[in-house]
Structure 1
């Protein structure tokens, strides 16, 4: 049995999208574009909790991170109803409006889903999530050493010019007791919440670097990075993984 253990460990490392080093971690995507599922939501929206519960269940999806990356963007345009969403950011509202301006979605609303850059209304019809087949675009690799973060991209086909990188820290197991607005009196639970979002310009062709913003919220956290073309929100390639050993007050 002991002789089989090294081989088993090696197989697990090959199968996993995350390899943890002594001082950090390295995450690499596959060559095919990884589908990103974005939920635009708000604590001030009474229709949003069911959509968020459905999104939370994706933490058990067999293709999580290496074949599906869910993100929950909390928008701020319902704060006027009397409850300021603690996870809302005007930049996330602007992201949803950018999808509408580009024709990727018909309107700005919550809960609203964007799958691989296009509006997805299957959740409202009770449809199973069908992941699109991504094109072979190239491999995105993220290196994290302490707070120092580096991204590199090896293209499979000629990539669009001026790719911009984005890095999001996600929080899980987040709870809020809402006292005003449409969800007054309810305790809401959230996963895949975008806590911080950093946009990074390239430091060299297909290379980006920055320091990762800290945010201690959440029982567990994950890290996601994606590339997009200038002025367009649609992810071109994406990569993500759990942050190992990160809990409240962690990395």
Structure 2
């Protein structure tokens, strides 16, 4: 009995370690600027599904979340025509409005692609390969701790904004009204709980819980931009464990 008790006590520290220790996740960019590929879209827009489908192909891109960070912002200004997009947010619409105000895009429309703050209309002319980019930038480091605290550091010190969003992967919707009535739509890289925070070089914030929208998998996208020009400086991301 004593031998059995000693064996049980010897196992206790190991069991406690296994239960309470969770591996933190880290993502680090290099000095080459990653491309932030933004799609402004809506389930109420009949011309958006082909753009959504193309964005989904980036799941297989060899530079995904390293040199390439895709984000689909579902806007809310088509909700009035008969179908309320479950992924739409006025915050997404405001981001597109800001791009129009500072001159990064000519006007607000869907589907609308923006790559590194520049309107990308070549997609509508049949170009499906991303434009080449050889820009260099500072390094962005992101650590997500086991208590959902996000630590972000950028190697350059300037007046910036931090952008963070969960990305919903493998989402689908059976649309019952509007321009896409009776269609099943599929989405990836959908922005969920998009947050912004001003700062200069380092940020620490408590992330909200992951929104449950029926996604098969969730990723995290993080980028920094110049607070005045809205120019994206660096981006990084990755799938969550």
TM-score w.r.t. the length of structure 1 is: 0.83
CA distance in 2, matches of 1:178, 1:109: 21
CA distance in 1, matches of 2:228, 2:44: 29
Structure 2 contact 45–78 (Cα < 8 Å) conserved:
yes
Could you give the per-residue CA deviations for residues 76-118 of structure 1, whole angstroms, max 9, x where no partner exists? 0000101111100101111111111112111110000001110
Larger mean Cα displacement after TM superposition, 52-61 or 100-109: 100-109
What's the offset of the Cα at 1:231? 4.3
2:90 is aligned with 1:94: no
Structure 2 contact 28–142 (Cα < 8 Å) conserved:
yes
What's the offset of the Cα at 1:22? 4.5
What's the offset of the Cα at 1:200? 2.2
State the match for 1:196 in structure 2: 193
1:208 to 173, 186, 203: 203
2:164 is aligned with 1:167: yes
What's the offset of the Cα at 1:40? 0.1
Could you give the per-residue CA deviations for residues 109-139 of structure 1, whole angstroms, max 9, x where no partner exists? 0000001110001211111323332432211
State the match for 1:124 in structure 2: 124
CA distance in 1, matches of 2:30, 2:207: 23
1:237 to 222, 234, 238: 234
CA distance in 1, matches of 2:164, 2:107: 26
Could you give the per-residue CA deviations for residues 152-207 of structure 1, whole angstroms, max 9, x where no partner exists? 1113xxx5x311111110001111111111011111111000011111233xx511
Larger of the two Rg values belongs to structure: 2
Where do 5+ consecutive residues of structure 2 fail to align? Answer: 1-20
2:184 is aligned with 1:183: no
- RMSD over aligned Cα, in angstroms? 1.5
State the match for 2:10 in structure 1: none
Structure 1 contact 38–113 (Cα < 8 Å) conserved:
yes
3-state SS in 2 of match to 1:56: helix
State the match for 1:66 in structure 2: 66
Structure 2 contact 138–233 (Cα < 8 Å) conserved:
no
CA distance in 1, matches of 2:173, 2:191: 15
Larger mean Cα displacement after TM superposition, 86-95 or 133-142: 133-142
State the match for 1:33 in structure 2: 33
Listed as ranges, the matches of 1:130-169 within 5 Å are 130-146=130-146, 147-155=148-156, 159=157, 161-169=158-166
